[in-house]
Chains A and B, each alone.
Chain A
Amino acid sequence: MRIWITVGPLALLALWWAIYALGVASPLLLPSPVQVADAFIRLTFQTGEIWPDCFVTVRRMLLGLCVSAAVGIPVGILTGSFKGISRSLEFLIDFFRSIPPVALFPLFLLVMGVGDGPKLAVVIYGCTLIMIVNADYGVSHAPRLRRFVGRAFGLNRYEILWKIVLPDALPQIIVGLRTALSLALVLVVVSEMFFGTPKGLGHRIYEYHLVFDVPEMYCAIAWAGIIGYLFNKLFVLVERRVVHWAGK
């Protein structure tokens, strides 16, 4: 049965090849798989010039994610624990969540100037809200019964928060982290396409597109995909170990 896992990708590759060979699409927009593979090998292994871009993109993504988690999780726990705080922030969170984060990029550029600042700001803006919403949900939907258990056996408020409410919210917090991870990559790549820094996968994709280096552009796109895929897989692995009880 394991063989099936390769069928889809191979079929797609064959389709790509067929389209290229039949000349359906302009070869300028859709180069052959060989050309792309060639560019991929060159940029990745021979010159290695794609690595700094990958590195910079990943760094921005993780840095933004860490700040978002550090801010969003405590805030979400707070709003999830206290009805009043949650009610008073409900509208603000829903409203700001409705603004596409990239819409704020020009503003961040104006405020922070070029460089990493505005890119990180976009990521932190988008991901912090996701973390707040998920931590809030996790805490406010933790079973009341288990808090009761804590009280019945003499735990104080802080112990109940630390030993019961947080573990109960953890699966949802991790769901939030995983959602935020995907969004962070999107936001970093998009914001890198604006001017500001000479490095990053988004920047690289845009540059290749400007000079019609299409196979190289595909290579940079592929790397963005590989990064997203690997981090997501890694996260699922960590998730299964850390919240092994979830869903059982």
Chain B
Amino acid sequence: MVTEDAAVTSVFQQGVVVDHLCKSYADGDSRLLVIDNLSISAAPGQFVSIFGPNGCGKTTLLNVVAGLVPFDSGTASVGGKPPGTFRAGYVFQDYERSLFPWRRAIDNIGLPLEATDGSVRSRRHRVQEFLVRCGIRIPLGHFPYQMSGGQKQLTALARALVGSPHILLMDEPFGALDYQTRLSMADELLRVWHHMRITTLFVSHEIDEAIYLADKLYILSPLPASVVETLEVNLPRPRTRRMLGSEEFLSVRARAIEAFWRNLTP
């Protein structure tokens, strides 16, 4: 469609480069290495999935890219800028608690606009406009405790995107949802993503979902995290459920699982 192609040239498209990144945490007297010489990249507008075992430092990786935690060595940049100097839209793993329970959906979504826009009315207006543009439907007057899991997830996604971020970071966003909601959320995410074509890092521990969404898939090792395999997903877009059984999908899946297991069992 013409309108979607126009979105491809959106000004916020930026590439991501993470190069030889190392990150450790203080652990008593010693230091615990969580990311070890990790290098990943995403071309502007690319959807990149990061798949790895639980507790392998995936969340830390996103936090580093978002500029929320410092790192030891290496580089991380988006559009050539270091973390903290660009806008990152972040969908947190615990998205439910990441919403503010004292705010209605509309004001939760408007949070990223507050740094630049002091008027509540104008923010709400922009939120509504944005949601209409993306075709996201959320009961805007509801508080989080009045919403379903899927609605809360959409609210967190909308909040991440409303401020026209340079990059979208998603940390196992569908982990807490049931299978049915999960599938429809993945399609909803792809639909919105097609509108914006925003560069996306998507962390997951669900392999089908990771492949289904991605242009490129990184398989990470157990702690400390490093890349053990990089796989291109050459499925056409828009993705459809039927592709879940396609040859390309199954071959990527087989190689991904093989690499995953190889590094899990020493």
* A contact residues vs B (CB 8 Å cutoff): 143, 145-146, 148-156, 159, 163-164, 167, 170, 243-245, 248
What are 12 A-B pairs at a CB distance below 8 A?
A: A146-B97, A149-B92, A153-B112, A153-B159, A153-B163, A154-B112, A155-B114, A156-B115, A245-B101, A245-B143, A245-B145, A248-B101
Alpha-carbon gap, A152 to B86, bound state (A): 10
Contact B143–A154 (Cβ < 8 Å): no
Contact B92–A148 (Cβ < 8 Å): yes
CB-based nearest B residue for A152: B90
Contact B100–A167 (Cβ < 8 Å): yes
Alpha-carbon gap, A153 to B88, bound state (A): 7
Extra contacts besides A145-B92, A145-B94, A148-B63 (7): CB < 8 Å: A149-B90, A149-B111, A152-B66, A153-B90, A155-B111, A155-B115, A167-B102
Alpha-carbon gap, A108 to B139, bound state (A): 57
Instruction: For residue B86, give the distance in angstroms from its CB to the closest CB of chain A.
Output: 11
Categorize the interface residue count of chain B.
Answer: 20 to 34
Contact A248–B97 (Cβ < 8 Å): no
Alpha-carbon gap, A143 to B100, bound state (A): 11
* B contact residues vs A (CB 8 Å cutoff): 63, 66, 68, 87-88, 90, 92, 94, 97-98, 100-102, 111-112, 114-116, 143-145, 159, 163
Nearest first, the 8 closest Cβ-Cβ pairs linking A and B are A245-B101, A154-B115, A248-B145, A153-B112, A152-B90, A167-B102, A149-B98, A153-B111
CB-based nearest A residue for B88: A152
Contact B100–A164 (Cβ < 8 Å): yes
Question: B66 contacts which chain A residues (CB < 8 A)?
Answer: 152
Question: A167 contacts which chain B residues (CB < 8 A)?
Answer: 100, 102
Question: B102 contacts which chain A residues (CB < 8 A)?
Answer: 167, 170, 243, 245
Alpha-carbon gap, A59 to B112, bound state (A): 44
Question: A145 contacts which chain B residues (CB < 8 A)?
Answer: 92, 94, 97-98
Question: A154 contacts which chain B residues (CB < 8 A)?
Answer: 87, 112, 114-116, 163
Instruction: Among B112, B159, B163, find the residue whose CB has the most chain A CB atoms closer than 10 A.
Output: B112
Alpha-carbon gap, A235 to B248, bound state (A): 63
Question: A146 contacts which chain B residues (CB < 8 A)?
Answer: 97-98, 100
Alpha-carbon gap, A163 to B113, bound state (A): 13
Instruction: For residue B91, give the distance in angstroms from its CB to the closest CB of chain A.
Output: 10
Instruction: For residue A92, give the distance in angstroms from its CB to the closest CB of chain B.
Output: 30
Instruction: For residue B249, give the distance in angstroms from its CB to the closest CB of chain A.
Output: 33
Alpha-carbon gap, A156 to B101, bound state (A): 20
Instruction: For residue B77, give the distance in angstroms from its CB to the closest CB of chain A.
Output: 17
Question: B111 contacts which chain A residues (CB < 8 A)?
Answer: 149-150, 153, 155
Instruction: For residue B62, give the distance in angstroms from its CB to the closest CB of chain A.
Output: 10
Question: B100 contacts which chain A residues (CB < 8 A)?
Answer: 146, 149, 164, 167
Question: B63 contacts which chain A residues (CB < 8 A)?
Answer: 148
Alpha-carbon gap, A243 to B101, bound state (A): 10
Instruction: For residue A187, give the distance in angstroms from its CB to the closest CB of chain B.
Output: 32
Contacts A145-B92, A244-B143 given; indicate if A153 touches B68 (C-beta within 8 A): no
Question: B115 contacts which chain A residues (CB < 8 A)?
Answer: 153-156, 159
Alpha-carbon gap, A146 to B87, bound state (A): 18
Question: A148 contacts which chain B residues (CB < 8 A)?
Answer: 63, 68, 92, 98
Question: B97 contacts which chain A residues (CB < 8 A)?
Answer: 143, 145-146
Alpha-carbon gap, A248 to B143, bound state (A): 10
Instruction: For residue A170, give the distance in angstroms from its CB to the closest CB of chain B.
Output: 8
Alpha-carbon gap, A77 to B88, bound state (A): 30
CB-based nearest A residue for B112: A153
CB-based nearest A residue for B90: A152
CB-based nearest A residue for B98: A149
Alpha-carbon gap, A164 to B100, bound state (A): 8
Question: A159 contacts which chain B residues (CB < 8 A)?
Answer: 114-115
Instruction: For residue B153, give the distance in angstroms from its CB to the closest CB of chain A.
Output: 15
Alpha-carbon gap, A163 to B115, bound state (A): 12
CB-based nearest B residue for A166: B102
Alpha-carbon gap, A198 to B114, bound state (A): 55
Instruction: For residue B142, give the distance in angstroms from its CB to the closest CB of chain A.
Output: 12
Alpha-carbon gap, A248 to B92, bound state (A): 20
CB-based nearest B residue for A153: B112
Instruction: For residue A208, give the distance in angstroms from its CB to the closest CB of chain B.
Output: 48
Instruction: For residue A157, give the distance in angstroms from its CB to the closest CB of chain B.
Output: 13
Alpha-carbon gap, A86 to B102, bound state (A): 27
Instruction: For residue A227, give the distance in angstroms from its CB to the closest CB of chain B.
Output: 31
Alpha-carbon gap, A25 to B111, bound state (A): 67
Instruction: For residue B246, give the distance in angstroms from its CB to the closest CB of chain A.
Output: 36
Alpha-carbon gap, A148 to B90, bound state (A): 10
